[in-house]
Amino acid sequence: MSIDTSDILIGHGNLSIDGTDLGATEGGFRLRQEQEWFDAFIDQSLGVQKKKLVRRKLFGVTNVAEGSLANWAIGYGLATSALSGQTLTFDNTDRGVVTCTFTASSANPAEFDRVLTFARVVSLGSSETPFVRDGISFVPVEFEVLPSVDGGDSFGTVFDATS
């Protein structure tokens, strides 16, 4: 087996949610997919005779190093109205459905920017921010990617930008 090192992806990227660039991150950006399958069994066989994909979920996860109040609002799933000047108010309003773009600079094999774009994401807001003496206080950001509303079940696109 030959190894093609030009296909090895290396690089960091920039994450923007709801038009806010989240800045420096730790641990990269992780895109996770979960799938649920229906298994068709029949009496005459012990094994699965047919499988059908019945549910797909996509999640984005990162740790944001820049602890601005705007980033906190995103990480905790708070509405933009929760931030007023130098005050972030934890209340019962949620951010709702927003857009998300992740761009990994020169990260694909041709050294173009790999761009992930999701038109509908919702912050899950399950964040915990430690304040530590000898480390960075990261703001965990996790969101679920929602499919399009046009009936096409498209979650978003991944493309390699040529310029």
Query: Shortest CA distance to 57 belongs to which of 130, 109, 124, 112?
Result: 124
Q: How much is the average pLDDT of 65-89?
A: 88
Counts for the chain of helices (H) and strands (E), in that order: 1, 10
Distance between CA atoms of residues 72 and 86, nearest Å: 12
**CATH, domain 10-161, list 2.30.110, 2.60.40, 1.20.58, 2.40.128:** 2.30.110
pLDDT digit string, tens, across residues 7-20 = 777 777 888 888 88
- Predicted local confidence at residue 151, as pLDDT: 67
- Predicted local confidence at residue 102, as pLDDT: 85
**pLDDT band for position 108 (cuts 50, 70, 90):** low
- The CA-CA-CA angle for residues 77, 66, 94, to 5°, reads 10
pLDDT > 90: percent of the chain: 20
pLDDT digit string, tens, across residues 18-60 = 888 889 988 888 899 999 999 999 999 999 999 999 999 999 9
- Convert 101-137 into a string of H (helix), E (strand) and C (coil): EEEECCCCCCCCEEEEEEEEEEECCCCCCCCCCCCCC
**pLDDT band for position 95 (cuts 50, 70, 90):** confident
- Look up residue 33 and give its two tokens: 């997919």
- Predicted local confidence at residue 41, as pLDDT: 94
Q: Chain-wide mean pLDDT for the chain?
A: 85
Residue 107 predicted with pLDDT over 70: no
Q: How much is the average pLDDT of 82-91?
A: 89
pLDDT digit string, tens, across residues 28-39 = 888 999 999 999
